[in-house]
Structure 1
Amino acid sequence: MQVELPRHRKRIESLGYEVVAPELGGRQQFTAAELLEYGSRLVGIVAGDDELSREFFEGATRLKTVIRWGIGMDSVDHDAARERGVTVRNTPGVFGYEVADAAFGYILNLVRGFIEVDAAVRRGDWPKVEGLTLAGARLGIVGFGAIGREIAKRGSGFGMDVVAFDPFVDVEPAGASMVDLDTLLSTSRFIVLACPLTSETHHLIDADTLALVSQDAYIVNVARGPVVLEADLIDALKNGRLAGAALDVFEVEPLPLDSQLRALPNVVLGAHNASNTREGVVRASNTAVEFLIEELAR
């Protein structure tokens, strides 16, 4: 949002509000204590993955609204917000294209070894990595919101057999067959996680669910890191119970230097950046500012 703020600042200020935009300094989010340095003045906030805890809501006594720039709402203490009468909104649907594109970038890197080949050619080698054909393979999508549906479209474009699981989708959508989670996990060659992080999806992928997955399957996580219990995933990858994984997100971010994931050859690592395109940032920022102004006007 900050990179787009110059386009929106005058409009917000013309409504009588002071705009405060502290620098993150290369970090991913602000702590509640850092945000509360402005707590006595805050009436609205456009937040990323910042710590919007009970401490924050109790300290920001004038706050009327929180707009989550993006989709995930797991950083917000919703009970505390409700108790304080603070409205909380995200910007749904703004990153469907971007995250779906990234999911397939990860899939292609897993099965065609582009990263490995690039590194080898730069060293002077000329490897011939035998890959996998996507056409005809089953793609299972966990979470069938805006992102999941865009992933399904791309899967169909590659000629894949697309199935999805989402307990909140009760109508058979175009582009995918809805199945239960066990069926998806046990029959899919490629499993893409695109669900929100909730109490129900926390550690959804663990030793028990991984036991259902075939040894030649791949898991791609473009959702939230804690959807996967990393210790169990690492164990499956190290012991040949899973062909590979691509992770845009992690339980702890940035990924700790001592994480075993860094040493696994069958893993593609990202940096929680699947949504980050110029067009996506503009789209999300425009939506966030519209929602902010709408809520402050109530």
Structure 2
Amino acid sequence: MRKSVRLKSDLFSVNEPGQFLSELTQLINCQGYADYRKMKEIGQLAVALHELVTAIESEGVSHYLLCSENRWIDATRFLDLIKANQASSMFAEVTMLVTKGEHPYEPGLLPDVIEQIECDEVQARIFNQFDQECQLVCEEVKVQTQVYMKSRREEVELFIEQRIELSSKRMSLLSDEDIRELAYSDSGGPFEGVLHQLLIIDRLLLIADFASDQNCPTRKTMFSILYAMCGSMGSQILAGKNPDGLLDMMAAISLLKAQSDEDANEWARKAEIFLASPSSELALQWMALAF
């Protein structure tokens, strides 16, 4: 009788059907943004899957399969589909099945002749090795982050002070009507030059002006605009179209954090999420904000 090893872990489970594939596909293809904690979990899952497959192959196993709801697919084909951004959303719960020998069953059918063995020892060994590697990477990131912050702190602080001072002078020249236009329009009209250079800071100063009035509808609108702007600027940074965008984002987040207001702090947190990118360079710079 053929024997197989069924490896199952919480890492391979998700709460909603299709969530695993759609978000893992986004991560691999660097598309879209997700909550940083969830991105971290998905990234760990992806690395763990790769580590499992590598470990399984090194032990001479000829087939490794993913299953969910009585549906099965060869893991090699599964990874190819993800890379091609064509992965199906049929897996609500993902389980690794390792099979010795040739394919024991027809695709799409649950194997009923396979002796399934819970292999806790093998699973623990693989994931312990994975955890150790993660810890080493995290330590290296911390060291690099501290070096980065030490070299950039004065530059960033000076940049923020200059932007605030310049924005304050510009904002003092605007009428109430101008301010409304600035808050609701990305085109900027006659203030296009101002918006091009100082859009985020200008609008943050508007938020500060309205912060004392909790019931002001314009204030909530501006929080929403800021959130959208952070997303846009994050995309520009990733695309290499706005090399100074990181400093803009850092200045914006610093100003939001300075507000003694729950909404402002919440939007600052959301703005930081946009800097949690799969891009290693940007991720390192984002980590500098977190320390």
Bin of the TM-score, shorter chain as denominator length? under 0.3
Higher RCO structure, 1 or 2 (CA under 8 Å, sep 6+):
2
Higher Rg: 2
Q: Which has the higher helix share?
A: 2
The TM-score, its normalising length taken from structure 2, stands at 0.24
Q: Which has the higher strand share?
A: 1
